[in-house]
A and B are shown apart, each in its own frame.
Chain A
Amino acid sequence: MTLIVENISKEFEQRGVRSAALVSINLDVKEKEFTCVLGPSGCGKTTLLRIIAGLEKATTGRVMIGGELVTGPSSRMAMIFQDYSLFPWRTVIDNIAFGLEMKGVGEEERLDVAAHYLDLIGLNGFGENFPYELSGGMRQRVAVARALAIDPSVLLMDEPFGALDAQTRNMLQKQLLEIWDKTKKTVLFVTHSVDEAVFMADRIVVLTSRPGTVKEVVTIDLPRPRDRTSQDFAKVRRYVLGLIDEQQSTQ
């Protein structure tokens, strides 16, 4: 399902002063594509994702998914937050089954589905554990499984690995790509890490700092699995870094 972002702008009002966070963002995300939104902190990339998810209203513009206007949270999209936001009073398996439970799917069926996704994220045997018994990386995998369980077309991810250490982060990046390959979801992934974006994305949408506008859309043609140490990788990374440095030095 294609995701189309048309002319999105967002203004905030603070103490009577209006300030722009996003200015006329246009974006086409093709089906099954892995797109990264890359930008410095405070550029409004999270706001953009929240608008797409239907959690916030844009000041102008609209978001269309599969030809339909987004007016609020939709079951076609699932969001993954930086702080995992698992329900700590539920076991892992009940967390994953949450969306299905809300839909009224019977217990047996939803636990079956949840078990499937538990397997997909490689956490077999942890179903009866509580989130507080898991490491940060494991929790974020559960959050991914919870989002996948409602079978959305689009996964929206808001700096999902931002709170993790470098090693766990690299591991989860690889795992997410594997899952993406298996499930063929459309992914929109927000990050401030150039390295992460170049490693993961088919296309990188580079935003300028506040107010955020699209600076450039970079297509990454490197074959997967990508090698961070290769020369081609370094070349692309240098180019994207250049885009970000450029705008910082012009400020």
Chain B
Amino acid sequence: MQMPPDKPQWWHGILSKSLLLKIALPIIIIISWEVLSILIDNPFILPSIESVLLVLSKPFADILGSGSLIGNAMISLGRVLIGFFVAAVLAIPLGIGMARNEKLHDFFDSTVQVFRPIPPLAWVPLALAWFRIGLVSMVFIIAIGAFFPILLNTLDGMKSIKKTWIEAAHTLGAKERQILANVVLPGAAPTIWTGLRVGFGIAWMCVVAAEMMPGTNSGIGYLIITSYNWGQVQVIIAGIIVIGVIGLGIDYLFKVVEKKKFMWRELDR
């Protein structure tokens, strides 16, 4: 007699061991949070989950006259995009140039190495002194944060280009300019993309910190620091969650493109 084959149940995927393992810690954190908030019983230190969820449930409602969660998050996102764009426009061509021209490399490399380890936030006072409070200061700090990962990954990507790709292109009749567009750029693109992804992550961290600079009057970082001044800890936590979710979402978008467009890097041997 033959046994009927095991039918896969719909819940098999959801309750697979690895998924259980993945959601275990978040569940522990949430339960401990709720328990602790009841034990501490002080919303100025640890508000309850419900109060945070209440704030999150009204993402478009004005908070303390400072604008909504989503509104401020979009303002922050806009700033990040500008700073990130500035960084990418400077770092990618510079990286390509440095990789292709030894003199250019020697000219810039020492300076890059000196500036690279400086945390972007160390530039805050200088940014304030030079550009005052405002968009320019923030864009400056964000751009510095995003610049180095993009530059270093561009250099790495250029190094990963096989010499024989370029030679093959040469023997197939490609001119220098065509090789740049059809071999060098597509060859380095996956690594440059990684640089953009890392750069964006850092830019996103920088904007929140930059918005906590005194005198700022909008953005998710501003909302958080204002909520602190008013003792609204549940808004602080809600803001942190929004920052995390947006950061995760954008990272996911970067990864989707990476998987779709640059799969060859993983699979090419």
Which residue on chain A has the smallest CB distance to residue B172? A99
Determine the interface band of chain A, counting residues with CB < 8 A from chain B.
20 to 34
Interface presence of A130 (CB below 8 A) = yes
User: How far apart are B177's CB and chain A's nearest CB, in angstroms?
Assistant: 10
Which of B39-47, B56-64, B161-169 is the interface stretch?
Answer: B161-169
User: How far apart are A138's CB and chain B's nearest CB, in angstroms?
Assistant: 13
Interface presence of B32 (CB below 8 A) = no
Within 8 A of B (CB), among A86-117: 87-90, 98-99, 101-103
Interface presence of B189 (CB below 8 A) = yes
Interface presence of B115 (CB below 8 A) = no
A208 to B54, CA, bound (A): 84
User: How far apart are A71's CB and chain B's nearest CB, in angstroms?
Assistant: 13
Which chain A residues lie closer than 8 Å to B268 at the CB level?
Answer: 88, 131-132
Partner of B173, one of A53, A87, A103: A103
Which chain B residues lie closer than 8 Å to A102 at the CB level?
Answer: 169, 172-175, 178, 182
Interface presence of B108 (CB below 8 A) = no
Q: Are A85 and B175 in contact (CB under 8 A)?
A: no
Which chain B residues lie closer than 8 Å to A55 at the CB level?
Answer: 167, 170-171
A6 to B267, CA, bound (A): 43
Residue of B171, B186, B262, B268 contacting most chain A CB atoms (<10 Å) = B171
Which chain A residues lie closer than 8 Å to B171 at the CB level?
Answer: 53-55, 73, 77-79, 147, 156
Partner of B172, one of A83, A98, A133: A98
Q: Are B267 and A89 in contact (CB under 8 A)?
A: no
Within 8 A of A (CB), among B42-81: none
Which chain B residues lie closer than 8 Å to A103 at the CB level?
Answer: 173
Which chain B residues lie closer than 8 Å to A72 at the CB level?
Answer: 170
Interface presence of B158 (CB below 8 A) = no
Which chain B residues lie closer than 8 Å to A87 at the CB level?
Answer: 165, 168, 183, 186-187
Within 8 A of A (CB), among B152-205: 162, 164-165, 167-175, 178, 182-183, 186-187, 189
A90 to B175, CA, bound (A): 19
A174 to B167, CA, bound (A): 27
Contact with A along B233-265 (1 / 0, CB 8 A): 000000000000000000000000000001011
Q: Are B264 and A150 in contact (CB under 8 A)?
A: no
Within 8 A of B (CB), among A118-138: 130-133
Interface presence of B22 (CB below 8 A) = no
Q: Are B169 and A98 in contact (CB under 8 A)?
A: yes
Q: Are A89 and B186 in contact (CB under 8 A)?
A: yes
Q: Are A85 and B172 in contact (CB under 8 A)?
A: no
Interface presence of B269 (CB below 8 A) = yes
Within 8 A of B (CB), among A19-78: 53-55, 72-73, 75, 77-78
Which chain A residues lie closer than 8 Å to B269 at the CB level?
Answer: 132
A130 to B263, CA, bound (A): 10
Which residue on chain B has the smallest CB distance to residue A152? B171
A186 to B269, CA, bound (A): 31
Q: Are A99 and B167 in contact (CB under 8 A)?
A: no
A81 to B170, CA, bound (A): 13
Residue of B167, B168, B187 contacting most chain A CB atoms (<10 Å) = B168
Interface presence of A146 (CB below 8 A) = yes
Within 8 A of B (CB), among A226-243: none
A156 to B173, CA, bound (A): 15
Which chain B residues lie closer than 8 Å to A90 at the CB level?
Answer: 186
User: How far apart are B131's CB and chain A's nearest CB, in angstroms?
Assistant: 41
Which chain B residues lie closer than 8 Å to A88 at the CB level?
Answer: 264-265, 267-268
A89 to B187, CA, bound (A): 8
A89 to B174, CA, bound (A): 17
User: How far apart are A109's CB and chain B's nearest CB, in angstroms?
Assistant: 16
Partner of A81, one of B164, B173, B182: B164
Q: Are B164 and A132 in contact (CB under 8 A)?
A: no
Which chain A residues lie closer than 8 Å to B187 at the CB level?
Answer: 87, 89
8 contacts between A and B (CB under 8 A): A72-B170, A73-B170, A78-B172, A85-B162, A85-B164, A99-B174, A102-B172, A102-B182
Q: Which of B's residues lie within 8 Å of A, judged by CB?
A: 162, 164-165, 167-175, 178, 182-183, 186-187, 189, 262, 264-265, 267-269
By Cβ-Cβ distance, the 7 closest A-B pairs, closest first, are: A85-B164, A99-B172, A88-B268, A132-B267, A88-B264, A79-B171, A73-B170
Q: Which of A's residues lie within 8 Å of B, judged by CB?
A: 53-55, 72-73, 75, 77-79, 81, 83, 85, 87-90, 98-99, 101-103, 130-133, 143, 146-147, 150, 156
